[in-house]
Structure 1
Amino acid sequence: MKVASTERSFDVESIRKDFPILLREVNGKPLVYFDNAATSQTPQQVIDAIVDYYSRYNANIHRGVHTLSQEATDAYEEARRKVQQHFNAAKAHEIIFTSGTTHAINLVASGFSTLLKVGDEIIVSALEHHSNIVPWQMLAEKTGAILKVIPMNEQGMLKMDEYQQLLSEKTKLVFVNHVSNALGTVNPIKEIIDSAHNRGAAVLVDGAQAAPHIKADMQELDVDFYAVSAHKMCGPTGVGMLYGKEEWLKKLPPYQGGGEMIATVTFEKTTYADLPHKFEAGTPDICGGIAFGAALDYMNSIGYENIAAYEHELLAYATQELLKIEDLRIYGTSVEKTAVISFNIGSIHPYDIGTIIDKLGIAVRTGHHCAQPIMDYYKIPGTVRASFAFYNTREEIDNFVGAVKRAKNMLS
């Protein structure tokens, strides 16, 4: 199938100028960065926001009467409102700043330890990152709840008919990713959410891999919890958010104790602060939150529809060119997927391919991608994963495909 090029106002060369790291060389070759599913790169606009914070108004937030503290507080809370607006949460206090998706998931899992009892059922999917498996296994062990798994098929899609059979009146919580980090599969989360709600169960969606590509609407989805990491969407590492419906956040107990999350403290009794501070103990990553807001501003200035359309072109072109390589198999062939290609070539170990193409300046991820159950399903040790972003180009894909061919010839 020949992939046609689409002309649009999307100017990738202009966008690339916003990312200083794309100018560097690796092993004497221009950097080709195809590890965006692990961490995206950071535009100058976000870097400037970080420098501006530490240069002009670095101070602790909330309750400070001095000017710097008030400026930092205003900027941090404005960032919270940007996150609220981006994800269309009904209220700003439904946005909890976290250190990332893993922190957010653990926060909810910890809270549900007080709500579950022996014999309750919780459901996970076979496509999850370890961060959306291990906390729930720990929860099941702690509470006596039963963990059930939605199976996957050969195309890397969930078996939705079997999901419907897993649901019952005992189901209390369903947790799935919006997009598979290992395969790029976009899950039918609206159907998953609606079906769970029909049985009275809550739903948590791991949105880490979706957020760079899909502008999820919390109210449209009617999801109970949604978690993302800023570093996958042009922001800094160490910051993310948990969206939770107000009714659920009020039910869950605090995840950590300390300053900021209290209303009053005596040695006899502590009362907790209102949302969102109830879940934000201690000094947060103030600069990270502000930079997260700047990253959302940047991505929205480009436009998510533009990003999705361009990345789809890159995915189609890369798929077309890679499949010309003999013995290459792509894992994850769902029609609905983001710009991720996981593949192997014959019996060649993915690590060996990744090591060779790194010498040619190309960054990809190799291994099980913190998704060992997926690799076990396919009976493989791991894959080579190339993941694209809106600042990548067809020329980079050509370089990548050429490097993969060279690695294959060396290793065959």
Structure 2
Amino acid sequence: MLDIQKIRTDFPILSQKVNGKPLVYFDNGATSQKPQIVLDAITKYYSEINANIHRGVHTLSQLATDAYEESRKKIQTHINAKFSHEVLFTSGTTHGINLVTNGFGSILKPGDEVLVSALEHHSNIVPWQMLCEKTGATLKVIPMDENGELIMLEYDKLLSEKTKIVTVNHISNALGTINPIEYMTEKAHEVGAAILIDGAQATPHLKPDVQELDCDFYVFSGHKICGPTGTGILYGKEEWLNKLPPYQGGGEMIKEVTFEKTTYADLPHKFEAGTPNIAGGIVLGVAIDYLNKIGFENIQQQEKELLEYGTKRLLEIDGLKIYGTSKEKTSVISFNIDGIHPYDIGTIIDKQGIAVRTGHHCAQPIMNFFGIPGTIRASFSFYNTKEEIDLMIEAVKKAQRMLS
């Protein structure tokens, strides 16, 4: 059992008041809060070893380089990548997806097909749309049902020798659905297609084993796993990363430059042009250490209890409907109340110190499927409590009375 009250003291922001009320932070799907050890690590980097990496012979540069590459190895271990050079630092999930789509621009041709799911975040839809427009490939959508689950029978039908890549989130940011990634990967590989997994919403809740999943690409953001904003990871199988062309040109990603010809650096530097977010990369490793110390089994148990309790309490409210009722689900509850716009609920409960997300959550096709403008989304983390859920319930009831 986790000592949640002790864990909460690791997060300075959780002790503050918002609008005169204790902060109840249920917007973890958008970004997580940061423990003091992460905040201290940012200060430590800039105070003690701030220098550019990979390029200097002086002591600070070597210290910064060692810390940055040690973080890469930590992440390799965390996701069980075969090689550290399969782990690329990015600015976030969106950057990682765009890096891969850029690379597939040299692979796709007219008549080829890209499969995306109906559950995707805009960042895993729009880059593929742009790529298909550029290459003449066709974008096809894996449909979902009323429970917020992808329809695997339809997925099987869509797959063909024309399919070059399948791109799907591990967990839906809007509904909390956990997708059957192992099955989807196996089926994609049967037709010779690659698969990219958007793990932005999964990595806060579980440890992805990329070798067990056998995915070709796995992307996630640091800011959702207690790390800094502007950080992320793209894992790619070595064979695929060697096959794709560089995403950007500049310093660091080159082996030799002349005006006649440039040759590119080996992995991972081929994809890491320019000065990176050095502090962010180092501190991301600190955040992962912190989460592993707590233990992902403990995190999952705590969040499972919060999901079950929150679902039960919310369904006690008359006229409330939950969207996303899949059998496999993480600690996200999207809901609406009959006759009331989600924005209005969110605005009123904010006055009570309750932070939730309202709108379409960058997943507008999901909202179109349900015929709604958006939802109120409460997304829980391991540092949240049942008592906070009770405060949210009372705030939502109060908002309902005011708006009815």
**What is the TM-score normalised by the length of structure 1?**
0.98
Q: Which amino acid aligns with 1:323?
A: L
Kindly state the Cα deviation for residue 314 of structure 1 after the two structures are TM-superposed: 0.3
Separation (CA, whole Å) in 2 of partners of 1:19 and 1:50: 15
Partner secondary structure for residue 385 of structure 1:
strand
Separation (CA, whole Å) in 2 of partners of 1:220 and 1:64: 38
- Which residue pairs with 1:261 in the alignment? 253
Are 1:346 and 2:338 counterparts?
yes
Separation (CA, whole Å) in 1 of partners of 2:172 and 2:303: 16
- Which residue pairs with 2:240 in the alignment? 248
- Deviations 1:75-129 (CA, angstroms, capped at 9, x unpaired): 0000000110000000000000000000000000000000011000110000000
Partner secondary structure for residue 194 of structure 1:
helix
What 5-or-longer segments of structure 2 have no aligned partner? none
Partner secondary structure for residue 297 of structure 1:
helix
Kindly state the Cα deviation for residue 335 of structure 1 after the two structures are TM-superposed: 1.4
Are 1:127 and 2:141 counterparts?
no
Q: 2:231 aligns with which of 230, 235, 239?
A: 239
Separation (CA, whole Å) in 2 of partners of 1:404 and 1:291: 37
Kindly state the Cα deviation for residue 63 of structure 1 after the two structures are TM-superposed: 2.4
Partner secondary structure for residue 282 of structure 1:
coil
Separation (CA, whole Å) in 1 of partners of 2:41 and 2:310: 34
Are 1:170 and 2:158 counterparts?
no
Give RMSD over aligned pairs: 0.4
Separation (CA, whole Å) in 2 of partners of 1:389 and 1:304: 12
Partner secondary structure for residue 223 of structure 2:
helix
- Which residue pairs with 1:216 in the alignment? 208
Are 1:399 and 2:391 counterparts?
yes
Are 1:152 and 2:148 counterparts?
no
Separation (CA, whole Å) in 2 of partners of 1:335 and 1:146: 31
- Which residue pairs with 1:90 in the alignment? 82
How is 1:161-200 mapped onto 2 (pairs within 5 angstroms)?
A: 161-200=153-192
Separation (CA, whole Å) in 1 of partners of 2:78 and 2:37: 18
- Deviations 1:169-228 (CA, angstroms, capped at 9, x unpaired): 111000000000000000001000000000000000000000000111010000000000
Q: Which amino acid aligns with 2:180?
A: P
Partner secondary structure for residue 48 of structure 1:
helix
Q: 1:316 aligns with which of 297, 305, 308?
A: 308
Separation (CA, whole Å) in 2 of partners of 1:361 and 1:336: 30
Partner secondary structure for residue 175 of structure 1:
strand
Separation (CA, whole Å) in 2 of partners of 1:405 and 1:86: 42
- Which residue pairs with 1:66 in the alignment? 58
The list of structure 1 runs, each at least 4 consecutive aligned residues, that deviate by more than 6 angstroms after superposition, is: none
Separation (CA, whole Å) in 2 of partners of 1:351 and 1:292: 33
Identity, in percent, stands at 72
Kindly state the Cα deviation for residue 57 of structure 1 after the two structures are TM-superposed: 0.6
The size of the alignment, in residue pairs, is 404
Q: 1:55 aligns with which of 47, 50, 63?
A: 47
- Which residue pairs with 1:5 in the alignment? none
Are 1:328 and 2:320 counterparts?
yes
